[in-house]
Each structure stands twice: as C-alpha cells, then as structure tokens.
Amino acid sequence: MNDVVLITGATSGFGRAAARRFAKEGWSLILAGRRQERLQELKEELSQVVPVHTVALDVRDAEAVKQAIADLPGEFRPIKSLINNAGLALAPKPSQEVDLADWHTMIDTNVTGLVNVTHAVLPSLIEVGKGASIVNLGSVAGQWPYPGGHVYGATKAFVQQFTYNLRCDLLGTGVRVTDIAPGMAETEFTLVRTGGDQAASDKLYSGTTPLEPEDIAELIYYTASLPAHININRLEVMPTRQAWSAFAIDRD
Ligand code: NDP
Ligand code: 8X3
C-alpha cells in the first residue's frame, strides 16, 4: 500500500509543488484547499501517476475538517504525513492602520486552521507511528520582526512553539514534527498579502532571486522522508540574496 500524505493549501505555491514532489515518489495524495477548480486541475494532472483524493475545505471550519477526515476513502488511510501548509499574510502596513478583520483572518487561518487539521489527523498519524510526520509551514517572520509583520509574524511564532510542544507530547509515538521556516519565496503569497496587487508582487520579487515553490517542496519531502529516527525540529531557509537588516532607530 502507498504511503499517504495530506497537504493543506495544495492549490498554489508550496502546497502544489509539494503535491507534485510526493507524487513523483509514489505517495497517495490527499489535497486540500478552498478553490475547487484548482484542486480538480491538480487531480487530473497527478492522478495519472498516483491515487489522488481532493477535499474542498476551509481549514478555519473545524467541523468541516473533522468530517473530511472521517469521510476519507479507505485507501487514503492511515495518513503518514501531514503537511500543514495552508496560510496567508494580509495588510502589510503598520498595526495602527490595519483592519481588525485582517488580523482575525490570519489568526483563524494560520493558527486555528492549523490546529483544526492537526487535531483531526493526529489519531491517524499515531496509528502509523514510526516514520509518520507533521511538517508545519512557519516562516522567518515567526522569529524575526519586521515592519508590517504584526499578526502574521505572531501566528508563525505560534507555529514554531506548537511544533516544539507537539514534539514533547508525541515523544514515544514515533510521530515527528517539524517547523519549516522559509524566507522570501515567489508564490501567490504577496498577491494575497497586498489584496491582489500584481505590480506590488512583481516588484518585490524583481531584480533578486527568491526561493521557488519547488525549493520548499524539496525540503518538505526531504523532511518527511528522512529515516524514522531523525526529527528536524526547525529548518529556517532564506534565499542567498536575502538577509537581516539593521535595527531601526527613532531620532529627534
Ligand atoms: P500561496 O498563496 O501561493 O498558497 C497558499 C495556500 O493556502 C493556497 O493553496 C490557499 O488555497 C491556501 N489557503 C489559504 N487560506 C486557506 C483556508 N482558509 N483554508 C484552506 N486553505 C487555505 O502561498 P505560499 O505557497 O507561499 O504559502 C504557503 C505557506 O507558506 C503559508 O502558510 C505561508 O504563510 C508560508 N510561507 C510563505 C512564504 C513565502 O514567501 N511565500 C515564506 C514563509 C512561509 P485556497 O485559496 O484555494 O484555499
Ligand atoms: C513569508 C516570508 O519574509 O515575508 O513568511 O516574512 S516573509
């Protein structure tokens, strides 16, 4: 029987690239995201290679998440690897100018959504035990502050600490947990963050060399396919052409 991976946020960016990467290695895929048409396109592409089950799902809806896992066809159980990738940033401006609804959307998706899926899938991962894994998509923003990062960075700090705390509780089950924390990567992330401003997205990535979705997909696959006795706790990765900057100082 094939190993089974569940990837959230499979309709774009890292999630879609990860779906292709796992398919290449013969894993059965459970692909989740809200955009049904994108899921269907990916299913048509990848079901020529491996079994694919798609679930049109908003990770913020705990009941829907629970039901989707309960309704999985037999050949897609148990789940060996959970890739908690669905997430977003919004409102790249100072906190004092942000709509409260945008903060709530980030918390509901990146924190509540991630714990909804984790809670629903944990029994399956524990059933697999040795070799099973959870790969959480954190961010450099979870460790390093920057202007306009506000709640987005805070949600990714949650992802890091939740990863570590899960490790403590899952010790002895064989289930591994990792926080992959990328820096700048060219996906639809900035388009979403800027409310659909393609020019702003293009500008951010132009004249430099951002990470590509396939780079992160490779690291996700690597993490989940390591020998069962190895757990990467956190993997922070930036483009070579990105680094930290100086502290900002307010002067008279
Ligand atoms: P994309 O915008 O390209 O992809 C985000 C994915 O998340 C989409 O498939 C989207 O699917 C899904 N998603 C968003 N909200 C929900 C929701 N409520 N329910 C279900 N799915 C949802 O961005 P990336 O691929 O770049 O981002 C993937 C992850 O990586 C995110 O957690 C992001 O924070 C993180 N990250 C990104 C970095 C970057 O620079 N790109 C760097 C560091 C971390 P749909 O809209 O169909 O629901
Ligand atoms: C997204 C990467 O550098 O915008 O998590 O925080 S960054």
ipTM given for this complex: 0.99
pLDDT of residue 1: 86
Distance, in Å, from the CA atom of 169 to the CA atom of 147, rounded to the nearest integer, reads: 34
Handedness of CA 204, 210, 214, 218 (dihedral sign): negative
To 10 degrees, the CA torsion angle through 186, 191, 192, 195? 160
Is 233 strand, coil or helix?
Answer: coil
- Residue 152 C-alpha to ligand 2 middle, in angstroms? 9
Domains of the chain: 4-237 (3.40.50.720)
- Active site (annotated) includes residue 152: yes
Distance, in Å, from the CA atom of 179 to the CA atom of 163, rounded to the nearest integer, reads: 6
pLDDT of residue 59: 98
Backbone conformation region of residue 180, classed left if phi is above 0, alpha if psi is from -120 to 50, else beta: beta
Atom of ligand 1 nearest to the CA of 140: 43
pTM of the entire predicted model: 0.99
Distance, in Å, from the CA atom of 105 to the CA atom of 139, rounded to the nearest integer, reads: 17
Q: Could you tell me if the CB of 72 is within 6 A of ligand 2? A: no
Distance, in Å, from the CA atom of 135 to the CA atom of 7, rounded to the nearest integer, reads: 10
For the chain, which residues score pLDDT lower than 70? Answer: none
Q: Could you tell me if the CB of 137 is within 6 A of ligand 1? A: yes
Q: Could you tell me if the CB of 187 is within 6 A of ligand 2? A: no
As beta bridge partners, residue 29 has: 5, 52
What residue type is assigned to position 132 of the chain? A
Distance, in Å, from the CA atom of 220 to the CA atom of 237, rounded to the nearest integer, reads: 12
Distance, in Å, from the CA atom of 79 to the CA atom of 161, rounded to the nearest integer, reads: 23
Task: Quote the strand ranges of the chain, DSSP E.
Answer: 4-8, 28-33, 52-56, 81-84, 133-137, 176-182, 234-237
